[in-house]
Chains A and B, each alone.
Chain A
Amino acid sequence: MDVGPYSGILKYIGKSIIKIISLLIAVSILSFILVSVSPVDPVRAFIGEVGMANMSAENLAKLEAYFGVNTPPIERYWNWFTDFIQGDMGTSLLYRQPVTSVIHVKFMNSMVLMTTAWIFSGFLGFIFGIVAGLYRDRWIDKVIKGYSLLIASMPTFWLALVLVMIFSVWLQLLPIGLSVPIGVNAAEVSILDSIKHLILPALTLSVIGIANITLHTREKMIDIMGEDYILFAKARGKSRISIIRNHALRNIMLPAITLQFASISEIFGGSVLVEQVFSYPGLGKAAVSAGLGGDAPLLLGIAVISAALVFGGNLIANLLYGIIDPRIRRGSAYE
């Protein structure tokens, strides 16, 4: 089959689909093994120390059956898997609701947060990187570089706490957490309220992401600025802006895009911590409670969804290469 210059891409997409299916199966098996060998006994976690002592053997047995403690792991996995391929992700043991509806609610919250952070960090990181690279070793470069190194070595939750202390406790400008105003009926919540609640968590997440992209873009920018063709352009009297636009941008875009899409996984990981600090009701928090509470169906659901998300990010990055740099599209990069 030959469909012109795009046959490479199509083949690549086809291969990717096979890859993601096998990846998802592997992820679900691995997560399931982890849940099964985890020392956390879901029944014990569910009823607690005092509850455990007080409970009758009958009720305990009922709960053990509910959490599937005595069902062989392979049988449990097989039940989950056969349902899953028919589109049924099962029922969350803790929430007592279909996993899809639990994930749907949490996913929407997380997506807003992560997308905002992702766009901000990509955009700002890129700009900072270019500026720093362009004015190498000048004071602005030193400021940006220093800032990036500082940020890169900062734990996410610590930064989150510092921001809460500054903006919510001292200045009392922004809410302490949650995604909705406290004690306000849903009908009275404005879009501005939602934005206000998004600022701090999104800022924390993006600030962390910026450093990585800035530093890489800066390096690449410096490399390019040292190329002969830049020197030649300068010799021809071209302005800085047009040099960047015509010669540098495409070259620095490639690594930036790779990083940006690869950073989806980092933002996802960071969101787990940020959601804890800001009491933000996202997927990260749900994953933590599912893991600690032995809620296998929910944990598997979240694992599969997040694996698909990260894989999707990398796939898009690869596809974008071809669009930005025709050499890759024509060449054998997709083979």
Chain B
Amino acid sequence: MKNKRILALCLIVTFLFTLVGCGKADKTDAGTAAKDSVVIAMDAESEPAAGFDPIMGWAAGEHTHDPLIQSTLLITKDDITIGYDLAKEYTISPDGLTWTFKIRSDVKFTDGVPLTAKDVAFTYNNAMKQATETDLSMLKSVEAIDDTTAVFHFNTPYSAFAYTAAVVGIVPEHAYHAATYGKNPIGSGRYILKQWDKGQQVILEANPNYYGEKPKMKKVSIVFMSEDASYAAAQGGQVDVAYTAPSYTVNPIKGYNILAFNTEDIRGLNLPAVPAGNKTPAKRNGETYPAGNNVTSHLAIRQAIACAIDREAIVKNVLNGYGSVAYSDSVNEPWENEAMKVAYDPAKAKTILEADGWRLNAEGIYEKQGLKAEFDLLYISSNSVRTGIAMAVKEMLKPVGIKVNPMGSSWDQIATLCYATPHVFGAGSHSPTGVRSHYYTGKNYASYSNPTVDTYIDEALAATSVEASYPLWKKAQWDGAAGVTPQADSPWVWLVEIKHIYFVRENLNVIDKKIHPHGYGWTIVNNVHQWSWK
């Protein structure tokens, strides 16, 4: 009697489990059945909280990318030079304060209304008013002269604006409502936002009336997931492309290749170039932070560090090979200066220090007039790669008599400390303004100041074409006599470029030659319209 009941209970449990089992997941979920659709897992941070509204910062920020749904005036090409999208040409006035864009007349929004210069002016004039990641403070106003001419008035010359114009998507004046546009964007880009399940996924469909190259991928689904979930989704065969990190590549997934993309995701150290006791320029609210470091303010120390670090070893050991050596904040970009390169040479590091009067003490650390060659090195402790880099730097500088004390912290703490203490910084962007942010007086984390460098940066921004600005950006780094190279002032020591890695289905042909900016995100789909299934 009792046993029968127990038996019955067991049967019920088995039955329930079978029921669950019957709800077999439909494999077509993954979108692999159709040959012109693709499913991509992106990190959860990539979902634009404020929606797909360029006025509210869509596609902007430190991970700039093509807005896909909207068209832009210009584009960044694969090699990060400037190309044309809506604009047919643009001219910059000699004083750099007026830009005139001539735009195409054959572009229509997906609701059938033609895109005109009025929409361009509307977009920029509105975006200027918003507090977003799109920095338009150099702009005064934009006016539409006629349907195909937009004139931009600037507060200050800013040739790097071309890179901003490659990111800000143009919205339709007649169909823009701030409250709803982010959810239901109307644009003229390659794709149409078909559906947005907030916090989960976005479904894009090819725009049938697109004026440019017709998308081969008709449907692009993007799911937002954590790193673990993205890996599991690829293991479960539910996505075609899944972002991942080096640690996951140890266990490959059957049916998937691991693709690594070149990036502008650079790590380097800021070496405060002034002695301790200084202060950063006051912010608007009067706040300042302590700046300067007694050890790194010695030029010899900064130059020695630059040649004492074995960058290849960091790539191999810390990045598992998913990276490359970096000598500047703009690896392979048109404004990178070859002179930034430095050979790994620990012996030279010692020579430099000894020539400057540093002598090894009993502990094997260099000393000069009672000052030990010893400093703290900040890193974001939640980030395994940066932790690894900090430890590697410590180990590599020990043999050349420089003592480094790695100090893990949070970015919020570090942001106030890093003016006085070197930090394992992340850098790199699709714009030459990176050079300005690292080396311009009053702007940089190294408290570095050199009037010659400042002059070149000012001239580069005042250039009357983007192309003319490249040589000036290069000169800002090294003009043959002065600059920020490891042999010269060396206020930053750049270490490695970190590849962005993805699990990609074996039979998917991913085209992505464009250098990715700092951070994972939408860059992976910049060329999704050219992808195809084998």
Which residues of A pack against B, CB within 8 Å? 39-41, 44-66, 69-70, 92, 94-97, 105-106, 109, 140, 161, 164-165, 168-169, 172-186, 192-193, 195-196, 199, 276-282, 285-286, 289
* Contact yes or no, A183 B431, CB < 8 A: no
Q: Which of B232, B413, B425, B433 contacts A176 (CB 8 A)?
A: B232
A49 to B25, CA, bound (A): 41
Cβ–Cβ contact B49 & A94, under 8 A = yes
Chain A nearest CB from B12 CB (Å) reads: 11
Return B476 CB to nearest CB of chain A, in Å.
15
Say yes or no: is B225 at the interface (Cβ < 8 Å to chain A): yes
| Contact between B223 and A279, CB atoms less than 8 A apart | yes
Q: A58-B137, A183-B39, A276-B226 are in contact. Are A281 and B411 (CB under 8 A)?
A: no
Q: Which 10 residue pairs of A and B lie closest in terms of their CB atoms, listed nearest first?
A: A281-B199, A183-B221, A66-B131, A58-B137, A53-B437, A51-B62, A50-B62, A96-B50, A183-B31, A62-B131
Interface pair A53/B427, CB less than 8 Å apart: yes
Name 25 A/B residue pairs within 8 A (Cβ), A-sorted: A44-B411, A47-B61, A47-B62, A47-B133, A49-B427, A50-B434, A50-B518, A54-B434, A57-B284, A69-B285, A106-B199, A173-B21, A176-B229, A176-B232, A180-B200, A181-B29, A182-B30, A183-B37, A186-B197, A192-B23, A277-B228, A279-B44, A279-B225, A281-B198, A285-B199
Q: A199 CA to B138 CA in the complex, in Å?
A: 52
| Complex contacts, A64 vs chain B, CB 8 Å | 284-285
Write out the residue numbers on chain B whose beta carbons fall within 8 Å of the beta carbon of A174: 23, 25
Whether B50 pairs with A279 at a CB distance below 8 angstroms is no
- Taking CB atoms, residues of chain A closer than 8 Å to B250 are none
* Bound CA span A289–B43, Å: 14
Give the chain B neighbours of A57 by CB distance below 8 A: 283-284
B23 with A195: CB separation less than 8 A: yes
Q: 1/0 per residue B163-200: CB within 8 Å of A?
A: 00000000000000001001000000000001101111
Q: Of the candidates A40, A53, A65, A176, which one forms a contact with B236 in the assembled complex, judged by CB atoms under 8 Å apart?
A: A176
Q: Which residues of B in the span 129-144 have a Cβ within 8 Å of any Cβ on A?
A: 131-133, 135-138
Q: Which residue of B lies closest to A63 (CB)?
A: B131
Residues B21 and A182 in contact, CB atoms below 8 Å apart: no
Q: Is the CB of B238 within 8 A of A56?
A: no
Kindly list chain A residues whose C-beta atoms are within 8 Å of the C-beta of B233.
176-177
A182 touching B198 in the complex, CB below 8 Å, given contacts A52-B415, A59-B135, A277-B228: no
A56 touches B221 (CB 8 A): no
A281→B20 contact, CB < 8 A:
no
Is the C-beta of B445 less than 8 angstroms from some C-beta in chain A?
yes
**Inter-chain contact A182/B23, CB cutoff 8 Å:** no
Report A7 CB to chain B, min CB distance, Å: 46
Q: Are A44 and B415 in contact (CB under 8 A)?
A: yes
- Number of B residues, CB within 8 Å of A: 76
Which of A54, A60, A140, A178 makes the CB contact (< 8 A) with B223?
A178
Residue of A nearest to B428 (CB): A50
Quick one: closest B residue to A298, CB to CB? B49
- Option from B20, B25, B133, B232 in Cβ contact (under 8 Å) with A164: B232
B20 proximity list for chain A (CB < 8 A):
173, 199
Given the interface pairs A41-B412, A50-B62, A56-B135, the reply to whether A182 lies near B238 with Cβ below 8 Å is: yes
Find out whether the CB atom of B236 lies under 8 angstroms from the CB atom of A94: no
> Shortest distance in angstroms between B192's beta carbon and chain A's nearest beta carbon?
12
Q: Which of B21-61 contact A (CB under 8 A)?
A: 21, 23-27, 29-31, 37, 39, 44, 49-51, 56, 61
CA gap between A49 and B436 in the complex, in Å? 15
Q: C-beta contact mask, B235-247 vs A, less than 8 Å → 1, else 0?
A: 1111100000000
Residues on B with C-beta less than 8 A from A94 are: 49-50
* Contact string against A for B residues 106-131, beta-carbon threshold 8 Å, 1 for contact and 0 otherwise: 00000000000000000000000001
- Which residues of the other chain, B, contact A70 by a CB distance below 8 angstroms? 284-285
Q: Is the CB of B229 within 8 A of A289?
A: no
**Chain B 500-534 residues near chain A, CB threshold 8 A:** 518-519
Task: List residues of chain A with CB within 8 A of the CB of B411.
Answer: 44, 49
Q: In the complex, what's the smallest C-beta–C-beta distance from B413 to chain A, in angstroms?
A: 7
With contacts A49-B411, A56-B135, A172-B237 known, is A183 near B203, CB below 8 A?
A: yes
Contact of B238 among A39, A59, A173, A176 (CB under 8 A): A176
Q: How far does the alpha carbon of A57 sit from the alpha carbon of B437 in the complex, in Å?
A: 12
Is B44 within 8 A of A140, CB to CB? Answer: no
Nearest CB of A to B279, in Å: 16
- Given A48-B519, A62-B131, A199-B23, are A175 and B238 also a contact pair (CB < 8 Å)? yes
> Which residues of chain B come closer than 8 Å to A168, judged between CB atoms?
25, 232, 236, 238
Interface residue? B105 (CB, 8 A)? no
Q: Is the CB of B137 within 8 A of A56?
A: yes
Chain B residues 375 to 420 lying within 8 A of chain A, measured CB to CB, are: 410-413, 415
Interchain CA distance A59-B137 in the complex, whole Å: 6
CB contact under 8 A between A185 and B194, given known A49-B411, A106-B199: yes
Please pick, from B182, B194, B236, the residue contacting A169 in the complex, using a CB distance under 8 A: B236
A106 to B200, CA, bound (A): 11
Q: How far is the CB of A170 from chain B (nearest CB, A)?
A: 9
**Interchain CA distance A192-B410 in the complex, whole Å:** 44
> Closest residue to A179 on the B side, CB-wise?
B200
Q: Are A61 and B25 interface neighbours, CB within 8 A?
A: no
B159 CB to closest chain A CB, in angstroms?
Answer: 15
CA–CA, A62 to B519, complex, Å? 24
Q: A50-B428, A178-B200, A185-B195 are in contact. Are A173 and B24 (CB under 8 A)?
A: yes
B350 at the interface (CB under 8 A from A): no
- Least Cβ distance of A261 to chain B in Å? 26
Asked if A182 meets B138 with Cβ closer than 8 Å, knowing A52-B415, A172-B237, A173-B23, the reply is: no
Q: Which residues of A contact B428 (CB under 8 A)?
A: 50
Tell me which residues across on chain A come within 8 A of B445, comparing CB atoms.
53
- The yes or no answer to B426 lying at the interface (CB within 8 A) is yes
Question: Are A185 and B203 neighbours in the complex by a CB distance under 8 Å?
Answer: yes
Q: Please give the distance in Å from A318's CB to the nearest CB on chain B.
A: 34
Bound-state Cα–Cα, A170 to B450, Å = 60
Q: How far is the CB of A299 from chain B (nearest CB, A)?
A: 14
Which residue of chain B has the shortest Cβ distance to A105 in the bound complex?
B198
A61 and B284 form a contact (CB under 8 A) = yes
Tell me if B438 is interfacial: C-beta within 8 Å of chain A.
Answer: yes
CB distance from B493 to the nearest CB of A (A): 16
Alpha-carbon separation in the docked complex, A95 to B53 (Å): 11
B429 adjacent to chain A (CB < 8 Å): yes
Q: A182 touching B31 by the CB < 8 A rule?
A: yes
B201 part of interface (Cβ distance < 8 Å)? yes
- Most chain B C-beta atoms within 10 Å of own C-beta, residue among A40, A57, A60, A279: A279
Residues of B close to A96: CB separation below 8 A: 49-51, 56, 182
Residues of B within 8 A of A50 (CB): 62, 426-429, 434, 518-519
A159 to B286, CA, bound (A): 50
| B270: nearest chain-A partner, CB-CB | A53
Q: Is the CB of B224 closer than 8 A to any CB of chain A?
A: yes
Contact B203 A177, beta carbon cutoff 8 Å: no
- CB proximity of B248 to chain A, nearest CB, Å: 13
Chain B residues with CB under 8 A of A177: 225, 229, 232-233
> Which residue among B39, B198, B219 has the maximum number of chain A CB atoms within 10 Å of its CB?
B198
- B6 lies within 8 A of chain A by Cβ: yes
From the candidates A41, A95, A280, A282, name the one contacting B415 in the complex (CB within 8 A): A41
Query: CA–CA, A16 to B23, complex, Å?
Result: 45
Chain B residues within an 8 Å CB radius of A109: 199
User: In whole angstroms, what is the CA distance A41 to B283 when docked?
Assistant: 14
